[in-house]
Structures are given as C-alpha cells and as structure tokens.
Chain A
Amino acid sequence: MNEIIKISKLNKNYAGKYQALTDVDLSIKSGEIFALLGPNGAGKTTLISIICGLVRITSGIINVDGKNIDDQPREIRQRIGLVPQELTTNMFETVWDTVQFTRGLFGFKKNNDFIENLLKKLSLWDKRKSTLMTLSGGMKRRVMIAKALAHEPDILFLDEPTAGVDVSLRKDMWAQLHELRKSGVTIILTTHYIEEAEEMADRIGVINNGKIVIVEEKEKLIKKLGKKHISFELEKELTSIPERLSNFKLTVKDKTLNYEYDSKNTDVHISKLFDALKTEGITYKDINTKQSSLEEIFVELVKNS
C-alpha cells in the first residue's frame, strides 16, 4: 500500500515555548486504520490539528498524497474529514442544517439523498429536525461524525470518537468505520480505549511526551512485545518454590503457580518446565494460558519511554 500521509521531522512549540511535538516522523498508509495511542497531553490532538490546518507547524514537512499541506491546502483539505475531541456545536442549529453547512463549507453542492443516508447510518435520522442542544452527548458525538463525513472525505481523523458513547453504539460505530475503510477511506483515530485500537486498527502508533515511541502493525506489536502467561491450578498448596525450579520465573499464590515468558522465546523452556514439575511431583488440575493484552503492552511502553 502506498503512503497517503507522510510527516517528516515535525516539531511544534506552542507560543514558542512549550514543545508539544519533537521530531515526529510518521507515515500513514492509504486505506488503513491507524490508531494513535498515548497518555493525556502526549500530543495526539496537536498532531491531528496540524495535519488538518488548525494549528501551525513550527518546523517540518507534511505531505498528503505527495502534496505539501501548506502549498496545496485546498486540494488536500477537501479530502479530509475531522471529528475533533471537543464536542463543539452550535446549540441553536438543527442536525440537518449543521451537516449541510459543513458540506457547503467544503465546497460541495447540496445532496439531500447522501445526507439522508448518512444520518440514517448514524441513527440520527429521527433527530434531523432537533436542535443540537436537545441531543445527548453521544448523539452530539455522532453529529460530529456526520459532519466530518458530509463532504465524502477519503481521509478521516477521529480524535477520541467514542468517548462518552455507550457500549452498543460504540460497537455499531466500529462496524461503520470498518465499512468506511472497506470503501477506501483511510482512518486515523486516537483513543484511550485500548480495546478499541485492538478491535479496529491495522497499525498502531504510540506517542508519549511529543515523541513517537513505536509504530507497528497491531499483530506484530502484540507478538513482539507481548508476554505469555501460564498458570497451573495445583492440587496441593505450595509454600515455596523448590530448588530445581528456581531457574524459571515462577511465582506462587495459594494454589496457583504462575509462569511468565516472552512469546519471542522458543517453547523449549516450557517443556523443560513441564518436565521439572513432573520430577518434583507437583501435580495440577488445570492449566490456563494468557497472552498479554495491548493494554499491558501500552502501559509498559509508556513507562519505559
């Protein structure tokens, strides 16, 4: 896949002082779903805002489809949709009007069928005549998404799209984003729900303190950094770990014996462990295995960066 967004050596200093982004290099591939993860204040919103033209670049270059965003803003912006993190709405407008407004602003002629379809997909059709102030938070969030899609963009930025959206609607939204991706839209989202990144993303980038920590395909990231975990349900309580087993990273708690190992390692160790348990006469009723989740990987990465 070719890259649709290419960011090189991007720096951002707010008010000439606070450095929010440091030497960010990042490429987004055409048609992928890219999840940007990072703790509060890491620089996610700043990065998105710069690409969308809301915040000025201090230094660095951003190209979209080979065009510099400062040289050809019109062509580029027409193709980009943004759902900002903050719920910013004109309270007195109706859903229908506000979505039409965005479409017009992006230079597109009215297309009532398209907007109708869009609102229906986002379960907003019933609310089209309501003013925004009468909507719930989750509904407003969906209106923001409808606005971002009103001009049929092929690059979509979602800054925490599902914050405050209930579980079932969140799942709906995920399905819709997958559908959008299928139709060729490149999606870049930030989230604090790791589960969301795990569910949605093709690739994941982690940012901390304005620096990109890692960018990797989701599967590879989990494999590369993931730890595996085996726990044995023992028949008899074990008070201490026998001498012979001290080579293995084992912990014991009540009747459970835990073993953790890197998934990168070959499973030689595991069979050795099984042998050792047998010779020690340690018997067990059950075995559980677990792979560390993206969440654990994320916490680890941020801690070490």
Chain B
Amino acid sequence: MNFQAIKTIYMFEMIRMFRTIGQSIAAPVISTCLYFIVFGSAIGSSIESIDGVSYGSFIVPGLIMLSVLTQSISNASFGIYFPRFTGTIYEQLSAPISYLEIVIGYVGAAASKSLLLGLLILGTANFFVDVSIQNIPLMAAFLILSCITFSLFGFIIGIWAESFDNLQFIPLLVITPLTFLGGSFYSIKMLPPIWQKISLLNPLVYLISGFRWSFYGNGDVNLRVSFIMTALFLIVSLLIIRWIFKTGYKLKT
C-alpha cells in the first residue's frame, strides 16, 4: 500500500474544502434553517405527528440524507472530474499507486466531507426541534455507509462525465427527486397503496427509512431490508469501479 499517496490525495481534497470553509459551513446551515422555517414551522405546525414523532423531528433524518447524498456525489464527482478536465490526471495514472488507493483517497475525502456535513446539519436541527437518537451506533453506521456509497457513486459519475453539465445531471435529475419521493418529508405509509408499491422501487426509500429507524425506532420498511439494500448499493458501486479500472474506461485509451 502506498499510504503516502493516499494521504496526499486525501489531504489535497480536504484542503480544497477548507479553503472555502466559510461556504462549506454556511451553505448547509442556512439551507437547513430554511427547511425548518418552511417545513418545520410554517407547514409542519398544521401536520399531525407521524408515528408519534412531531413533523419537525420527523424530517430531520430525511433532511440529513438529502444533503449527504447530493454532497457526496458532487464532491466525489468533482474531485476526480477536475483532474480529468485539466489533464493533470496523467500524474495519478503514471504514479505507483493502485486504483484502490486512488479510490480510497478521493472517495475517503468526499465521504469525510459529507459526514462532517451530516453532523453539522444534525447539530443545526437540534436548535429547532427535539432530535432523539435511539440507536447511535446504527445511526452512525447508516450515515457512514451512505457517505461512502454515494461518494463512490459520485466518483463513478466523475469518471463517466464528459462535461461539467454531466456532473450536475445525475444529482439534480435523479438523486434529488428520488430523495424527495423516497420519504424524506413524509412517510410513504401516507400514500395510496399503489404509490406505496411504486415507492418501493425507489432505492433511496430503504436508505432513508433505515436511517430514520435509527432515530425514532420506526421506518417505512423493515430495518433489515434497509440495511441489506444499503449494503447492496455499496457493493454495486464497488463492482462498477472495479470494472472501470480494469477496462480503463474513460481513463486510458
């Protein structure tokens, strides 16, 4: 293992975040506040509690997931796309590092950032509503797993992308809608039966449900199913990345 190289990539990516530390903190804090003002107070006050949890508290896990998923993807995809775009990727390709090490460096940094972000939102949410976490280890496991999985996914997008527009495309057109429709702001049990069935096709339902379970002991789907699905995403992403590096897809001609 070339640990020095992993550290170098990791630090390079982290420093990129700290350079804009103000933005990195302000953006999620402000958007969380907005969500609580709009959903928590303005709309939430007229919505009954769900499964015995007040609406404001109910949306916290979904809110965290929404930011964590989009940020994981955009951080990781930008991290690897930028050197591809500028051409400096030649260094990574000619260096004595394995693909695993490249992935650990980039994905590790992106996942760390979104983990910090998730915790920041959790902290902010705490100011507005009561947040109780029933099972902290489970909560941490879901959060970390999601950060890693979606950073891996972002890494894949960053390798696939041919333009900066492509980078925006998946988070905006796929992840955001799926998170909204995946029960971030409602329980899918509130939907008509047919839509409940359709919702189960949405992979993010399992993620959000499992994560919420760790907070309030209650979810839309079985906890074990949630966990298995989350682990499955991770494995699929890893397999795609392995294939990318084996074939040199978009990296080597």
- A residues apposed to B, CB below 8 Å: 14-15, 52-56, 73-78, 80, 82, 84, 86, 88-91, 101-102, 104-109, 147
Contact = CB atoms under 8 A, between A and B. Distances in A.
A263 B157 CA distance: 62
Given A55-B252, A74-B96, A101-B12, A107 B5 contact: yes
Contacts of A78: 96
A72 to B, nearest CB: 10
Interface stretch (B59-67, B83-91, B113-121): B83-91
Given A14-B253, A56-B248, A107 B4 contact: yes
B2 A74 contact: yes
Contacts of B95: 77, 102, 105-107
Given A86-B87, A107-B97, 17 more contacts: A15-B253, A54-B252, A55-B253, A84-B87, A88-B87, A90-B82, A101-B91, A104-B5, A104-B7, A105-B8, A105-B9, A105-B95, A106-B5, A106-B95, A106-B96, A107-B5, A107-B95
Contacts of A76: 96
16 contacts: A52-B94, A53-B93, A55-B252, A55-B253, A76-B96, A77-B95, A77-B96, A84-B90, A86-B87, A90-B83, A90-B88, A102-B91, A104-B8, A105-B8, A105-B91, A105-B97
Contact of A54 (B9, B12, B82, B93): B93
Contact of B86 (A80, A90, A108): A90
A108 B7 CA distance: 11
A200 B237 CA distance: 50
Contact of A82 (B7, B9, B94, B97): B94
Interface of B: 2, 4-5, 7-9, 12, 82-83, 86-88, 90-98, 248, 252-253
A76 B95 CA distance: 10
Contacts of A104: 4-5, 7-8
A82 B28 CA distance: 41
Contacts, number: 70
Contacts of B98: 74
Contacts of A77: 94-96
Nearest to A109: B4
Contacts of B93: 53-54
A108 B87 CA distance: 23
Contacts of A54: 90, 93-94, 252
A256 B83 CA distance: 60
A101 B90 CA distance: 13
Contacts of B7: 104
Q: Pick from B9, B248, B253 the residue with the most CB of A within 10 Å.
A: B253
Nearest to A56: B252
Contacts of B5: 104-107
Contacts of A91: 86
Contacts of A75: 96
B94 A53 contact: yes
Contacts of A84: 87, 90
A210 B97 CA distance: 30
Contacts of B12: 101
Contacts of B91: 101-102, 105, 147
Contacts of B96: 73-78, 106-107
Contacts of B253: 14-15, 55-56
A57 to B, nearest CB: 10
A153 to B, nearest CB: 11
Nearest to B87: A88
Contacts of A52: 90, 94
Contacts of B252: 54-56
Contacts of A101: 8, 12, 91
Given A14-B253, A55-B253, A105-B95, A88 B8 contact: no
Contact of B90 (A82, A107, A109): A82
B15 to A, nearest CB: 9
A22 B91 CA distance: 27
A93 B4 CA distance: 20
A89 B86 CA distance: 7
B2 A107 contact: yes
B102 to A, nearest CB: 10
B87 A80 contact: no
